[in-house]
């Protein structure tokens, strides 16, 4: 943590050399960072081992908590629908509209089921006599209802297991967070994905409280299988997260094979294996049979492309290597547009030849391997430029995206230019001002902790380590979905973007509750037993 904080502090993306020199003169700074992180680690570990009082505020299930939470969240979020009518359309949204409408060949760059769902909303709107605007509005409403139902489940569980104060704070957080309010009406795959991660964390917290035998019961296991499917088909890194989760669950439940419930445990293991096998079969052979076109090769090699470009700009490259690189983009042009924090500056440049990269994957990977020997530091720096922000404990980042017409095509003429208040979509509108105010408030001390996903990653890692040290492996599971989500990002290294790790923001009440519940319960004195 100290080393990553030091490197992140000296990373200056807009400088001619992105990293200021780091040498022995930074040793005192590193030692200070290391000492601060060590104190934080020991403090967290001490708190996790300290006995807690029983959840005296927990009141069991209440029939009005869940529907009341749904109604309150939808009532607050409806304001965002009015401001951003018929919904917030970001760059990925236009691709989903073209795919759902059948104007582009179906591809797996975006989740296929998501594109099909968008298409069904458009078809229903046209059947009902409306147009694209009505279809987008239908999508926004359905997505908001699903999100409210999922988050209301979290609130209801907190009411039952932790207490009404915790449930009330979580409800206010869900309802008043501008990030969640805007995401409820944003057409992208991440809005629902983060909800499935929160539900998984909740399911595993309940399982840790009840024991491994509870998770192998029919209804909890059915819920786990459904969530594994939901995560797998919600985002492209979903199947790998699902594999990691299933592996941890199998390891945790394996001792049950020696007990009286070994039949049920074996069936649970087989069901998870069957579900994951079906996921890879559907997304592989079945998609090809249905004519689903694979995503562009250029979209899958963002990190290698960034490492090669970094080496061309700041590292070493032979004339032969530069000649091969020239087929994609002239080196002088790459040096002009290169941004160390995002690969899109090169990949989406007007002079970049995407077709050559898609048609010559072997030549490109050969170039990447040849340049690696002389550019180890450049390759590591390029990785940190793309993914280092996810693990730099000092970083926090938000993204209040109000949408764009970039890539809209003919859909831009089919959508209203004003919201339901009659305001034009421009920089001075109330919607744009709301996003700017939300971004400013999110940077305040204290509030920024809600968006400090790298710090949350390390805290979850600390809690999981404590569970392993105490030999209570069950408590690793609640933190595993978010840790695996970040872990896959560190391997794939996409651009550092809040939406890729927003699962931690949405699951925050569950993760905090899990960290509190995993602490041993303080034994009550006999006179207070009643």
Neighbours of 31 (CB within 10 A): 12
Determine the pLDDT at residue 187.
92
Determine the pLDDT at residue 530.
44
Kindly report whether the global pTM for this prediction surpasses the value 0.85: yes
∠ CA 341-354-93 to the nearest 5 degrees?
Answer: 70
Neighbours of 529 (CB within 10 A): 7
Determine the pLDDT at residue 505.
93
- Reading phi first (left if > 0) and then psi (alpha if -120 to 50, else beta), residue 293 is in beta
Determine the pLDDT at residue 459.
93
Residues of the chain with pLDDT under 70: 14-17, 19-21, 54-61, 256-257, 259-260, 419-430, 522-530
Using DSSP, state whether 489 is helix, strand or coil.
helix
User: Dihedrals φ, ψ of 518, to 5°?
Assistant: -75, -15
381-412 burial, b if ≥16 CB within 10 A, otherwise e? bbbbbbbbbbbbbebbbbbbbbbeeebbeebe
Determine the pLDDT at residue 248.
93
In angstroms, rounded to a whole number, what is the distance separating the alpha carbons of residues 362 and 383? 21
**Cβ contacts of residue 360 below 8 Å, gap of 6+?**
327
In angstroms, rounded to a whole number, what is the distance separating the alpha carbons of residues 429 and 427? 6
Structure tokens at 419: 């919201």
Q: What is the pLDDT of residues 62-116, one digit of tens each?
A: 788 999 999 999 999 999 998 888 899 988 898 899 998 888 888 888 899 999 9
Structure tokens at 332: 């002088």
Q: What is the pLDDT of residues 13-33, one digit of tens each?
A: 766 667 666 777 788 888 998
In angstroms, rounded to a whole number, what is the distance separating the alpha carbons of residues 138 and 442? 30
Determine the pLDDT at residue 15.
66
List C-alpha distances in Å: 24 to 17, 117, 226, 377.
Answer: 19, 56, 52, 17
Whether 235 and 497 have beta carbons less than 8 Å apart is answered as no
170-188 burial, b if ≥16 CB within 10 A, otherwise e? bbebbbebbbbbbbbbbbb
């Amino acid at each position: 943590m100290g080393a990553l904080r030091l490197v992140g502090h000296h990373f200056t993306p807009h400088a001619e050399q992105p990293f200021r020199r780091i040498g022995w003169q930074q040793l005192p700074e590193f030692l200070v960072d290391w000492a601060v992180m060590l104190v934080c680690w020991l403090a967290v570990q001490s708190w996790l081992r300290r006995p807690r009082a029983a959840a005296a505020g927990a009141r069991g299930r209440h029939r009005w908590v869940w529907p009341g939470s749904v109604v309150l969240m939808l009532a607050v979020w409806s304001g965002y629908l009015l401001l951003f009518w018929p919904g917030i359309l970001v760059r990925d949204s236009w691709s989903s509209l073209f795919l759902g409408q059948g104007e582009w060949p179906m591809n797996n760059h975006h989740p296929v089921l998501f594109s099909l769902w968008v298409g069904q909303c458009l078809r229903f709107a046209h059947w009902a006599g409306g147009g694209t605007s009505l279809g987008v509005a239908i999508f926004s409403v359905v997505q908001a209802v699903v999100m409210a139902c999922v988050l209301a489940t979290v609130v209801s569980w907190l009411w039952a297991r932790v207490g009404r104060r915790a449930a009330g704070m979580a409800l206010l957080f869900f309802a008043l967070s501008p990030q969640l309010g805007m995401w409820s009406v944003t057409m992208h795959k991440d809005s629902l994905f983060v909800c499935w991660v929160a539900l998984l964390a909740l399911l595993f917290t309940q399982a840790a409280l009840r024991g491994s035998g509870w998770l192998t019961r029919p209804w909890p296991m059915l819920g786990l299988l459904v969530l594994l499917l939901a995560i797998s088909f919600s985002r492209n890194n979903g199947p790998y997260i699902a594999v990691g989760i299933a592996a941890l669950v199998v390891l945790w439940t394996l001792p049950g094979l020696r007990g009286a419930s070994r039949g049920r445990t074996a069936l649970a293991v087989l069901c998870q294996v069957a579900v994951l096998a079906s996921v890879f079969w559907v997304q592989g052979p079945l998609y090809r049979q249905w004519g689903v076109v694979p995503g562009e090769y250029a979209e899958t090699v963002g990190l290698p492309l960034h490492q090669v470009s970094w080496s061309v700009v700041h590292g070493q490259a032979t004339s032969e290597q530069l000649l091969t690189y020239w087929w994609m983009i002239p080196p002088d042009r790459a040096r002009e547009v290169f941004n160390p924090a995002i690969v899109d500056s090169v990949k989406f440049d007007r002079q970049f030849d995407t077709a050559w990269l898609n048609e010559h994957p072997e030549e490109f990977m050969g170039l990447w391997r040849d340049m690696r020997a002389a550019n180890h530091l450049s390759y590591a720096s390029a990785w940190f430029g793309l993914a280092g922000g996810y693990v730099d404990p000092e970083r926090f980042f938000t993204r209040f995206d109000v949408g764009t017409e970039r890539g809209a095509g003919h859909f831009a003429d089919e959508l209203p230019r004003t919201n339901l208040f009659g305001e034009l979509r421009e920089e001075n509108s109330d919607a744009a001002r709301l996003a700017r105010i939300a971004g400013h408030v999110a940077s305040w001390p204290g509030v920024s902790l809600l968006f400090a996903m790298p710090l949350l990653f390390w805290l979850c890692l600390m809690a999981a380590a404590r569970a392993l040290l105490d030999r209570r492996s069950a408590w690793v599971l609640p933190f595993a979905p978010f840790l695996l989500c970040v872990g896959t990002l560190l391997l794939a290294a996409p651009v550092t973007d809040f939406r890729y790790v927003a699962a931690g923001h949405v699951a925050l009440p569950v993760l905090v509750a899990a960290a509190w519940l995993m602490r041993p319960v303080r034994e009550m004195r006999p006179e207070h037993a009643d």
